[in-house]
Amino acid sequence: MKPFLYELAETLYKNYRPLDTLTVVFPNRRAVLYFRKHLSVFLERPTFAPRLITIEDFIADLTELKVPDKLELIHRLFKTYYELLKKSPETASEPFDKFYFWGDMLLRDFDEVDKYLVNPGQLFQDLSNQKELDSSFDYLTDEQREFLKTFWGSFEEHLTGNKRKFLTVWNQLFALYTRFGQALLAEGLAYEGMLHRHVAENLSEGMAQRVKGKSLVFAGFNALTKAEEKIMSFFVDRGTATIHWDLDEYYVNNNTQEAGKFFREYQQHPVLGKTFSKDIPSHFTAVLQSGKRAGQQKSVRVFGAAQPVGQAKVMAQVLREQLATGIDPEDTLIVLPDEKLLLPVLHGLSADVEKLNITMGFPVSSTPLYNLVELLIEMQIGARHDQFNHRQVLALLGHPYVVAADAAVANAKRKEILSNNWVHVHRNFLASSVPLHRLIFTTAGANIIGYLKDIVMEIGRMSTITTFDKEYAFHFVKLLNRMADVMGNDLEEQHSPSTPADEAPARSRTKSVVLKSFLRLFRQLIQAYKIPFTGEPLKGLQVMGVLETRNLDYKNVFILSLNEGAFPSSAGKGSYVPFNIRRAYSLPTVEHQDAMYAYLFYRVLQRAENVFLFYNAETDVLGQGEMSRYLQQLVYESGLHLEKKILHNPVQPTPITPITVEKNEDVMQTLARLSEGNSMFRGLSPSALNTYMECRLRFYFRQVARIREPDAVEEDLDARVLGNFLHDVMEHFYKRLREQKKSKNIEAADFDHAGLLIDQLIDEVFINSYGLEPGKAVVYEGQRLVVREVVKRFAHRIIEMDKAYAPFTMEAVEQEGMLYQVPISKPPGHVLLSGKIDRVDRKDDVLRVIDYKTGKDKLDFDSVESLFIRDGKRNKAAFQTLLYALLYRANANHRGTRIVPGLINRMNLFDDDFKFGLKVGREYVTDVDPLLPEFEQRLKIVLEELFDIETPFDQTTDPEICRNCPYQGICYR
């Protein structure tokens, strides 16, 4: 069958000479390209072509008004809105980023009001007054008035804040509409609907003279706005224009077919009705006249597949088979109602199609540059006192562009931040000679747009990035330039434009608030921003969205996402004008949209010969997956023979089998090295043995396979973070005290001024831990303030108890190098144990081995045996402290003393009756020696098992132990 644009070209070539006296108006630019291609078939020699133009450009040529882009229009609307409503408490303080969504909605409403030539004064007046409704709307039908009463009745019941704001804005809509229009006209500007209304209401012979050429042809139109209808009727009525409709008898002559709704209305129009031919073409169900299927109807195949990506995969397979049979890729179209399927479709087609033309753009929000810009803004939002939050810093240092600039520098800084657990990273540490790094890690100030532009432009200059990345940078710079042109570089202006001095509080916003506002606005703008694909529009297989298919015909058509909610789309656009009122004033409603998309569906099929339709066959609880109504109509009403296949891809869950690692020679050699005590392996620590007894497999991952646990900065107030700070403060306190006294002997008087030293040490620990600038006062806020107060409270309580316990001798603080060899019967014959003891002090004949614990560790345990039972209830802290006591007894020469192990723990530290020491059952341990023989014997059993080649590394059977394990991603527990 001949394409519509081919038939149009043939008709115009025969009936209009010379062609350059003709102007042809189309719904979109793609139709212009294809018409030019078809027209060239009839031209035997060079000639002047007719003027080919879109309807938007045609109407724009009839006036001097210009249409700015959407961002500028919404920003101008915001200024008018603010001036009009600045005294209203519901709307006065609304910043531009929050207005943008509502401004977009208002602009769309104003646009439709004008395009459909609705009387704005009547539409926007206060309908809440029943008397006004009865007296002022006599022109409405009873049904229309009932719609309005029903709507406003729902508002009168409960006037919540949102409803009051809605009503406040509604009551001012006509004033806002009028002032906005006047402000635009004063500068020779208009939004598209305003421009259309201006032309439609001022049609005259003088305006008609603007049309170049003697004859006009409107081609391929369907759902006209009232302004378009009036403009087209004007030229048709004058006899200077004709209309060529792209339609089919199948849906026009069937009153139940929504696809023909608008054509049936235009057939009754006093002017447009005369442009319809009595013989409406019948392509949809016609028998093909040529090709392999001559004498038959079009082939229609329907495929149900699991999930959207499943559709893309099935479509790629079907297309591959069809290409193998010889179909022409340039006469083949893929329609994507759901543009999120673009990347899966492209991935499936990559090996089968040489040339491809994609009409829809690539979403900027899916580019790595968008991710970078988001991180940059978030980093600036969180910046405090020349410091940045570690989250954004680490993410930026790992970003492909930052790594591409200098991987060694980025990785080194990332490693140091993680190793030091810096929650906040100072700008001085991030300073670098790498240009991109230097631009990124600086404070932006108010000029965030300039900051971002400098970074994006530097990325564009990098030689280590791809052509695609340079394209992304180009489009980002364009967008940022446009934002700066419209809003200015000083973002304070977007919050309260033209704010007088006496309204200064409305502008007193912090940098963080302004940047958050900018980020919200940036995200809204970027959602609609797409990067066009570069290609030859008339070559190769075509991939289009639904709207781009208007007027275009292909022999082979593939349509995906034929499900309710996708085609037709259920995502209605927001509006200040509710459905009932829209219906009362004949503004577009959902029914209007459905009829338009129904036409686009049947139109793209009407001249096709081979049709392949795909839908998601898996229906969820919300009905997603239900076959589209258009597809249902095709199956049950068209009379066409359809082949239908539902392709199932049953997903069988893979059973999670327990992981067991057998011990081989390599494993045994690694275990043996643990006992050698070299620079890499310092023996087995108490925490490593705790890990082994909890889960052998976790011990294998960490100690044998050396699989690093994921690096992360701990910023929550967990026991480890507080423990590290407390350990450091107490270590420095007692070392400083011993250095000052040049003695290990501690007396009560030594604690008289300890508070000042503790405060000083907390500052020093914070400076070292967070990489702060030495000598500069530490600013405590947020989490830092909480950490300081908690550590300070712990430290003061410990000092309070030590003062009461004094005098005593401080034997060791954070003592390392405590080693002990346990003989075993398995090779290598012994196991080296090592540990770092927090503190050892002596008073009289008592040696206290102390472990600081800031978690929920308990002092008591049932028995030595209970410390070796593999479950989540064993007292790990008690096991660790007893092992420290064993190490100290083996390394220190303190005969005649009793070693008393104990915890200084968070749970009991602040009890009035706190008593130091561990408890076996209800009895305090006053001497560890009676416990050590059994402890060492049971420890030896564990170590014999560890070095037994027949005992594998297996998983714990206690799921509670797995809850916080860093290796969950391997075990899937």
Q: Sort strands 898-905 and 860-861 into parallel, antiparallel or unpaired.
A: unpaired
DSSP codes of every residue in 448-490: HHHHHHHHHHHHHH-TTS-HHHHHHHHHHHHHHHHHHHHH-S-
Residue 361: other Cβ atoms inside 10 A: 15
Q: Which residues of the chain have pLDDT under 70?
A: 87-93, 126-167, 212-213, 288-295, 489-510, 571-572, 619-625, 648-654, 677-681, 710-720, 771, 782, 872
pLDDT of amino acid 347:
87
Identify the CA nearest to 230 among candidates 185, 168, 272.
272
Structure token digits, residue 677: 């005590």
For tokens 């179209």, the residue is 333
Angle at 444 between CA 443 and CA 445, to 5 degrees: 100
Contact 901, 917 (CB under 8 A): yes
Question: Could you tell me if 573 and 567 are in contact, meaning their C-beta atoms sit under 8 angstroms apart?
Answer: no
Nearest to 319 by CA among 351, 357, 275: 351
Q: Helix, strand, coil proportions of the chain in percent (round to 5)?
A: 50, 15, 35
Q: Please say whether the beta carbons of 575 and 108 come within 8 A.
A: yes
Look-up: residue for tokens 């020679």? 665
Structure tokens at 239: 């006899």
Which phi and psi (to 5°) does residue 759 adopt?
A: -60, -40
In three-state secondary structure terms, 291 is coil
For the record, the structure tokens of 830 come out as 């012994």
The tokens for 298 are: 């079009």
Tell me what pLDDT residue 499 has.
45
Pair of tokens at residue 787? 């950490």
Q: 899: helix, coil or strand? A: strand
CA dist 305 and 722 (Å) reads: 54
800 contacts 792 by C-beta, under 8 angstroms: no
> 656-685: b or e for each residue (b if 16 or more CB lie within 10 Å)?
eeebebebeeebbebbbebbeeeeebbbbb
pLDDT at 584: 84
CA 541 to chain centre: 31
Q: What angle do CA 407, 409, 413 make, to 5 degrees?
A: 115
